[in-house]
Chain A
Amino acid sequence: MSKKSYRDAIREAIASEMRRDPRVIVMGEDNAGGAGAPGERDAWGGVLGVTKGLQPEFGAERVLDTPITESAFIGAAAGAAATGLRPVAELMFVDFMGVCFDQIFNQAAKFRYMFGGKAVTPLVIRTMYGAGFRAASQHSQCLYPLFTHIPGLKVVLPSSPYEAKGLMIQSIRDDDPVIFFEHKLMYDETADVPDESYTIPFGEANVTREGKDATVVAFGRMVSFANQVADELKREGVGVTVIDPRTTSPLDTETILDSVAETGRLVVVDESHPRCSMAADIARLVAEEAFSDLKAPIKTVTAPHTPVPFSPALEDIYIPNPAKIRDAVLAVTRHAR
């Protein structure tokens, strides 16, 4: 056990799986960096350095730099997965899925079903998401609800370095295509992470805080905000349960419904837009399955239905924050039935 960053935890997971299984390969734009250039090899290790050091250890046959050609290489990763490899492909920013979505949702996601169960597609697509980097509208989106919508895909949102390592190893060992969302603001967050390999199963939520007055379901980077609010409110006598579903597909509905049965109050915190979001999805689930348990209307805390703005003054307002989560929790706990 030692302190590791979210970035290092992801890299360590990939490297350990590459040592364990020669079928695991890595590909993406600048994943090593400097391909064909006169300077150093492994110049970048991915735009934010997650795959740095993999090519020196595993060679250019297993850590492939690609041209900027998302449709071709994401499709190639899907084709390689269906024919016997276990590729970990990097779609640099999730915003770029617009140029290659067909290969993900019409091809990789559907092979197993369309082909009558005769195909497996053990593909991991790593991608950066999230606002706060001053990266504006085309490099800051969340978009995980879009992938969650597609049958056949599994969608993973690690909320800490520990989660990132265990969920990445699980992702690589899974036989279905997995979209692995890495929040770009979390790469430098550090926490205790075991040195050895471990897996965290999909579809098993992590209850990060326990309290009897309200349930907060939060995703990805929002989990730490929710924890912070729960800790504050505990000191003020309000008990908050925080649930990190870890994966939006599969979704651990049982843990959410059990908690709402106990607290009767639900807040969902989702960094994506409000419509057709995880917030809307979970609100629908609870309204449908646990209406009689509710003591207050469900509250959602999301980004607004706008593109992500550039100006720091606007972006800071755009992103859900602990103050907004706190207000929502207090609104549901103070609601008189």
Chain B
Amino acid sequence: MQHSRQFLLECYRSMATIRRFEDRVHDEFAAGKIPGFVHLYAGEEASAVGVCSQLSARDVIASTHRGHGHCIAKGCDVTGMMKEIFGRSEGLCGGKGGSMHIADLAKGMMGANGIVGGGPPLICGAALTAKYLKTGGVAVAFVGDGGSNQGTTLESYNLAKVWQLPVIFVVEDNGYAESTASAWSVGGSQVGRAAGFGMPGYEVDGFDFFAVYDVAREAIERARDGGGPSLIHAKLMRYYGHFEGDAMTYRLPGEVSKAREEQDALKTFRKRVMSAGLIEDRDLDAVDMEVARLIDEAVAASEAAPAPKEADLATDVYLNY
């Protein structure tokens, strides 16, 4: 394990923040405090952090409808995100985007996306910018197993290959596109598709931060060195439903609790760093406490924050009619 203690603590903090954020959004949604559609990322933390911990602001990511984890991993302000989800004017997008459209381009976060498969073409553009301006940046498109079947995604594989773009496609396969099993909906395999487009492909345990980190490092280095696109197929699980309110009758009883017990990304991470003697239990507990406080404060600030005003309806868009 070549990682520094400091780096590992940061990665743990990022994963713990995602988990706590999502658990809390789950509760706040159930309490009727969050409007609209919410899709939670809890369970998938190792994927977002395994990839994004190796990126900086010059690197751009595009996310999905399940985007909170990617935002946090890419450094978006957590309180600004919570305010956005609450629909407040001080939210990251002024309350105009909401859960499915959180973005912060200054941080290299091109947006969650309400359209399945919407992100990959955009990320080809971000990669083209990086290549053309020679910024040294790379671009990462996160898609789900559902998004992996969209024509936009497959077209983007081809364009990224033809233009030799610095792109990493991360297919986060949480087992279900809405209620439909990926085992049923995906023809062939994700790495087989990568091979079909002439890209290196990696299949990886998406619960395992270190496994994701290692394949992502290879893919990112390849992209930075001008070696073109790669694909990572991260096999993982979402702990909540497709959306909040999903009764999940399509899953087997005990499916999630078993994963939480045996595969959980945070628990796995904790075991690994402790057995390697790098970090003490109490250090991680301290991070958990800090994260809990941060999320409490974010929710309190969001509840207290003002709603947008009527005058805000027609700003941030060209309007003359």
A residues apposed to B, CB below 8 Å = 25, 61-62, 64, 66-67, 69, 71-85, 87, 102-103, 106-107, 110-119, 151-152, 154, 176, 203, 249-251, 253
Contact = CB atoms under 8 A, between A and B. Distances in A.
A76 B103 contact: no
Nearest to A70: B155
Contacts of A113: 96, 316-317
B190 to A, nearest CB: 18
B101 A69 contact: no
Contacts of A77: 125
Contacts of B129: 79-80, 83-85
A281 B162 CA distance: 43
B320 interface: yes
A66 B320 CA distance: 35
Contacts of A84: 129, 133
A104 to B, nearest CB: 11
Contacts of B151: 71
A72 B124 CA distance: 8
Question: Top 10 nearest A-B pairs by Cβ distance?
Answer: A75-B121, A79-B125, A116-B94, A79-B122, A116-B93, A117-B316, A80-B125, A72-B155, A76-B125, A76-B124
Interface stretch (B106-114, B200-208, B267-275): B106-114
B252 to A, nearest CB: 34
A116 B320 CA distance: 19
A253 B130 CA distance: 41
A83 B107 CA distance: 11
A168 B184 CA distance: 48
| Category for how many chain B residues contact A | 35 or more
Contacts of A103: 118, 121-122, 152
A290 to B, nearest CB: 15
A110 B152 CA distance: 18
Given A73-B159, A79-B128, A80-B128, A102 B118 contact: yes
B171 interface: no
Nearest to A153: B318
A75 B152 contact: yes
Given A112-B317, A116-B93, A85 B121 contact: no
Contacts of B110: 79, 82-83
Contact of B97 (A107, A115, A253): A115
11 contacts: A67-B159, A69-B155, A71-B155, A72-B156, A72-B158, A80-B126, A103-B118, A115-B101, A116-B93, A117-B315, A117-B316
